[in-house]
Structure 1
């Protein structure tokens, strides 16, 4: 196990193994998102209360899941970088942040669009919505900190600390509907209980969630590879790759 983690921390080894993994995740993401979208939008039955407006769930829920998961992943990578000084972890954390911010924005925007026919308003200072907005600010803060220092290492450390501190917001987002009175509904499905929706509704939703996660992994691998080439441009193996591609 530790040998694998040590190898994963090597930019050269990560660059090589990620090239073999990326096509599988891109293919899985494409198939799952395409199938989930067609099934959810064209074949899933309309909700008995919300009608067809509920179909935005197939974008809103995967985006919200991914927004929270990316922040946890970013904080974990920051911890690995701070404790073990593994450069690849910092590179991965750096490329995760923009996608996490984008997914948080998509979750907030799609939730607002969904809220108009459901709640009669696009925004309310609900505990779930407010904590998600805070998550967006945290993402922006992490991205800004990376560019606020003349030294890249100083920026990386500052961003890692903010991510590790800010991760406390994730359980607040998750349990806000249980801890406080909110308009936001509870989770549509969890791994510990049966879905409250019929199979025809939650199966495409599950496909979309898995597809979004595969997309995140594929994009992170691709962008981390680019970051490795940028930061390790002076290394011989990178120069050899450049010469081979000419």
Structure 2
């Protein structure tokens, strides 16, 4: 327990977090690329054809992991927002703001692929049902966090606190997205995989590439988070001695 507490405090230190991210980021990228290649090749070429949707169903190997990540990243951003708002941790601010554009990108991918999937599945690209609408609101929340931060660019600490407040309030939308298909009438199907209700995908040859892609997207998030958070810390801590020392070391390397 003491080691975990010590690690927590160490990770809250901007220079320590910067170094750790620099150490692990390349490995996260390698794992993300390798797993993405495996998942896409497995899903697009080796997974069996669906008896109802034929080959059109293969878009789930991109759509479902992207949708999962849009929620996962917002939750991570919201937790970081709580830490930034309550304890004013610089690293939490970095994680929160680094997560926002990554989560927004995954949300756009989930919406775009969902529309492409919806046309053959439901006969329409878009329907204002609860799941689709709440997912679109999620995108607006990501954009809102980034816009709020940008609007207070002269005072980065105040900008982070205001952005954190938006991120925290938006967490309630995650619950709405998760249970929207059960609370309201929806053309959208329920969860493909559930820890409590089991999986609607019974064929392991279909499920395997989906799980591989889900893991791949998480490693990509970690890689992108590390890179963006490092840049954020260099910009917001530019007057600190550790930043000058780090930049000097890079110059002489």
Instruction: Answer whether TM exceeds 0.5 for this pair.
Output: yes
What do residues 29-69 of structure 1 show as CA deviations (whole Å, max 9, x unaligned)?
A: 11111100000000101111111110000110011011111
* Deviation, structure 1 residue 210: 0.6
What SS class does the counterpart of residue 147 from structure 1 fall into?
helix
Q: After TM superposition, list the pairs within 5 Å mapping 1:17-96 onto structure 2.
A: 17-96=20-99
The alignment's TM-score, normalised by the length of structure 2, stands at: 0.94
- Tell me which residue corresponds to 1:223: 228
Structure 1 spans left out of the alignment, 5+ residues? none
Residues 149-179 of structure 1, C-alpha deviation per residue, up to 9 Å, x if partnerless?
Answer: 2422222111111110111000110111111
Give the one of 4, 13, 17 matched to 2:16: 13
Question: 1:193: how far off?
Answer: 4.2
Do the aligned residues in 1 keep the contact of 2:156 with 2:236 (CA within 8 Å)?
no
How far the C-alpha of 1:23 sits from its partner, in A, is 2.3
Q: CA RMSD, aligned part only?
A: 1.2
Alpha-carbon distance in structure 1 between the residues aligned to 2:41 and 2:9: 42
Moved beyond 4 Å, runs of 4+: none
Aligned partner of 1:212 in structure 2 is: 217
Equivalents in 1 of 2:99, 2:164: separation in Å? 12
How many equivalent residue pairs? Answer: 246
18-27 or 55-64, which deviates more:
18-27
Q: Displacement of 1:100 after TM fit?
A: 0.9
Give the deviation of 1:236 after TM superposition.
2.0
Give the TM-score taking structure 1 as reference length.
0.96
The 3-state SS of whatever aligns with 1:228 is helix
Partner of 2:160: 156
1:78-117 aligned at under 5 Å gives the runs: 78-117=81-120
2:240 to 211, 235, 238: 235
1:122 matched to 2:125: yes
- Structure 2: which 5+ runs fail to align? none
CA drift at 1:82 = 1.4
Paired position in structure 2 for 1:244: 249
| SS of 1:49 mapped into structure 2 | coil
- Residue 40 of structure 2: SS of its match in structure 1? helix
Secondary structure of residue in 2 paired with 1:184: coil
Cα offset for 1:195?
A: 2.3
